[in-house]
Amino acid sequence: MDLIQHLQERVSEPETYSNSHDDGLYDSETRLKAIFDQTQQFTSLLQCDGHILEINRTALEFAGLRRQDVLGQALWETVWWQLGDCAAELENAFQQSLTGKTIQYETQIWGQDNVVATLDMTLKPIMNHKNQVAMILAEGHNITERKIAEEQIHAALEKEKELNKLKSRFITFTSHEFRTPLAIIASSAYLLRRHGLNLSDEVQARHFDKIQDNVDYIAQMLDDILLMGNLRSQQMGYEPEKYPVSQMVGLLLKDYDKRYGSTHNFSFQSTPPDIYIQADQTFLEQAINQLLKNAVTYSTVRAKIQVDLALDNKLFTIHVTDNGIGIQPEDLEKIFDSFVRGSNVDNFPGTGLGLAIVKDVAELHHGTISVKSQPGKTTFTLTIPQNG
């Protein structure tokens, strides 16, 4: 016989039923306690005012309490339910159960050592021989592990959905972005093969430059796709170590100045001058390189590109600012997504992967990447927390 059947039978016997704690139902106290304590559910028996008549060992041990600590208290006033709106929800469910309805809902309880459990809670009215509610049996089935499993499955499904979107974007991207450079390569190769002897050295050189530039562009796209794929699948080793980041950025900017110094002005500041941080140097250099490449690509001739490093309160920050075309407000929220480019960059080369790589590197280091932009000024801010 289960607990609910036993209670129903006891309160349905008019010759033994009484509201006192000495007669009727309480003649079976020992038997009831045995039934209560053998169940692994969180079980309590409540009076019609919500006060606890009995509660089982499973519930008491979860909170590190004794029976005398809670008997006679309203269930929603006990420590289990002092989490958010859980007490109010329980009291509301209890009032509904007094109408004779079985109420079931999901809630959380608080245990010792701040442990939180998720319960599938049921409030069952126990009727007397007059078909009136005599008491309420409150049972909570611990579904914490199931909820964790559901969340993990949901996260896996969301990741799968994101991967499918990424695959779709990749197909669209490759069919579009590879077609143009391949067409240019094919066109130049055809002209050189058919008319090479009749073309001047200058024209031939121009076609060879087109072929080389577009081969380099395709190679860069493939490198970016491979890097992003490795970051997201974590196939490349993440090896953070302490190293002089200000020195690394300084050398990177010297290289950019050699290549683009005739068209852009580079400025660098580090506070303090020598900054050592804990990070994966290879990945971080890739991220900073992507930010600098963006700044060069989308800024006008003679535009200033400012790089600022700072280490303050164990937070490393790098700002990369350019005086370029800016990012449209409607593009800001999605600018870090894979294969997404700004709506105002149609005339500029790019893969739509650079900022997605920066975001992946930031998240790999438990950091953030953000952007503020307006026409004529865009600042990207990369932060990496330092635990040491």
Domains and CATH numbers, the chain: 3-142 (3.30.450.20), 238-388 (3.30.565.10)
Report the percent of the chain where pLDDT is more than 70.
83
pLDDT at 307: 95
pLDDT tens-digit readout, 227-252? 777 776 665 677 889 989 999 999 99
d(CA 140, CA 109): 10
d(CA 251, CA 330): 35
pLDDT at 176: 67
**Residue 171 clears pLDDT 80, i.e. is over it:** no
H runs (alpha helix) in 98-200: 144-177, 179-195
**How is the beta sheet containing 303-312 ordered, strand by strand?**
264-271, 303-312, 315-322, 377-385, 368-374
Assign 5 a pLDDT band (cuts: 50, 70, 90).
Answer: low
Q: Residues 354, 359, 360, 361: what is their CA dihedral angle, to the nearest 10 degrees?
A: 90
Question: If we measure between CA atoms, which residue out of 232, 282, 231 comes closest to residue 252?
Answer: 282
**Residue 17 clears pLDDT 50, i.e. is over it:** no
d(CA 91, CA 88): 5
Contacts of 342 (CB under 8 A, 6+ apart): 327, 328, 331, 335
Q: Is 228 exposed, middle or buried (0-12, 13-18, 19+ CB in 10 A)?
A: buried
List Cα–Cα distances, 218 to 174, 185, 231, 339, in angstroms: 10, 11, 20, 15
Tokens of 177: 């972005």
Question: If we measure between CA atoms, which residue out of 173, 166, 181, 172 comes closest to residue 218?
Answer: 181
d(CA 321, CA 371): 10
Assign 16 a pLDDT band (cuts: 50, 70, 90).
Answer: very low
Mean pLDDT over 216-224 rounds to 79
pLDDT at 222: 78
**Residue 22 clears pLDDT 70, i.e. is over it:** no
**Residue 21 clears pLDDT 50, i.e. is over it:** no
Q: Residues 80, 84, 89, 94: what is their CA dihedral angle, to the nearest 10 degrees?
A: 20
**Residue 25 clears pLDDT 50, i.e. is over it:** no
- Element spanning 326, H or E: none
Question: If we measure between CA atoms, which residue out of 375, 338, 35, 356 comes closest to residue 165?
Answer: 338
244 upstream amide cis, omega within 30 of 0: no
d(CA 120, CA 245): 52
Helices (H) and strands (E) in the chain, counts: 11, 12
Q: Provide φ and ψ at 348, rounded to 5°.
A: -115, 145
Q: How far apart are the first and last CA of the chain?
A: 61
Of the ranges 13-27, 130-144, 269-283, which one carries the lowest mean pLDDT score?
Answer: 13-27
Calculate the average pLDDT of the chain: 83
Tokens of 212: 């080389």
pLDDT at 2: 57
pLDDT at 325: 85
Question: If we measure between CA atoms, which residue out of 236, 208, 224 comes closest to residue 174?
Answer: 224
List Cα–Cα distances, 353 to 13, 146, 202, 246, in angstroms: 75, 37, 35, 25
